Amino acid sequence: MGTLSVNQNKLQKRLRRQAGEAIADFNMIEDGDKVMVCLSGGKDSYTMLDVLLYLQKVAPIKFEIVAVNMDQKQPGFPEHVLPAYLESIGVPYHIIEKDTYSVVKEKIPEGKTTCSLCSRLRRGTLYTYADEIGATKMALGHHRDDILETFFLNMFYGGTLKAMPPKLLSDDGRNVVIRPLAYCSEKDIEAYSQLKEFPIIPCNLCGSQENLQRQVVKEMLLDWERKSPGRTEIMFRALQNVVPSQLADRDLFDFTSLRIDDNATPRFLDVMSL
């Protein structure tokens, strides 16, 4: 790649620092962990692997990295790209071959969004495989923008206030999912991916679909950021500063027990006694 420019060096350091902070803040990786890095062939997962390999060298703890890719048997998928890349950088890897493409095409009518079913099938397969190889952590490449987009999607279309947590225990308790890029912006990841010239593999199943709800939300957030630079970072900080008493979830805060405190200090002076 050659010598980095000042800005390129800053970009690399920023991504490494932000990932390191997220890992530390949420205790994502512990000594002796076997981290299964889920590699899709997209910019996010390539960047995540690159950053984790660096952190593995400098971290005060020891942890193992193994890359895993799921070949979903999409027509035209270049099966040689990921193995060639991983072998060139000396990273141990596994390729899971499972024809979820046919399942998705069979179940989802033409023109409808395939992402939801595709994601569920992929996630279930990866969870099972992580268990099989003894991975203690499963790393996904979701970044700050993904997390915010998911928050607004759930609020606008699902009626819930939830996003993608940086660290998650699966429903059956057998997998811990981590998102080391939780503090990183998609803009930085895109720039870093171009800088490193990762061999990107496009998703021909769902990546070309237009007018997806997520794309609408993405454009909304990009427009907000253009009009008010820094707003994305502020919104992400809001996810880390939740005040349950100022919302309306009765399971999260005991509103029914709220009563006047007779022992509270009076708010106003007794002017008649002055």
Structure tokens given for 274: 């002055």
DSSP letters of the chain? --PPPHHHHHHHHHHHHHHHHHHHHTT---TT-EEEEE--SSHHHHHHHHHHHHHHHH-SS--EEEEEEEE---TT--TTHHHHHHHHHT--EEEEE--HHHHHHHHSPTTS--HHHHHHHHHHHHHHHHHHTT-SEEE----HHHHHHHHHHIIIIIS------SEEE-TTSS-EEE-TTTT--HHHHHHHHHHHT------TTTTT--S-HHHHHHHHHHHHHHHSTTHHHHHHHHHTS--GGGS--TTTS--TT----TTSPPSS--GGG-
Q: What is each CA distance from 265 to 75, 268, 269, 272, in whole angstroms?
A: 72, 9, 10, 18
Across residues 59-88, what is the average pLDDT? 90
Q: Which residues contact 32 (CB under 8 A, 6 or more apart)?
A: 61, 62, 63, 136
Q: What is each CA distance from 50 to 39, 47, 65, 140, in whole angstroms?
A: 11, 5, 11, 13
Least confident piece of the model among 39-43, 44-48, 62-66, 114-118:
114-118
Please report, in range form, the residues annotated as the binding site. 115, 118, 206
Evaluate whether the domain defined by 6-246 bears CATH number 1.20.140.10. no
Parse the chain into domains and list their residue ranges: 6-246
Q: How confident is the model at residue 230 (pLDDT cuts 50, 70, 90)?
A: very high
Higher-confidence position of 268 and 274: 268
| pLDDT of 95 above 50 | yes
Q: How confident is the model at residue 6 (pLDDT cuts 50, 70, 90)?
A: very high
To 5 degrees, how large is the angle CA 222–CA 119–CA 165? 60
Please report, in range form, the residues annotated as the binding site for [4Fe-4S] cluster. 115, 118, 206
Q: Closest Cα partner for 21 from 162, 133, 181, 132? A: 181
**pLDDT value of residue 108:** 63
Q: How confident is the model at residue 175 (pLDDT cuts 50, 70, 90)?
A: very high
| pLDDT of 34 above 60 | yes
Least confident piece of the model among 80-84, 115-119, 187-191:
115-119
Using an 8 Å Cβ cutoff, are 106 and 145 in contact? no
Task: Please give the torsion angle defined by the CA atoms of residues 130, 131, 133 and 138, in that order, rounded to the nearest 10 degrees.
Answer: 30
Using an 8 Å Cβ cutoff, are 68 and 37 in contact? yes
**pLDDT value of residue 98:** 76
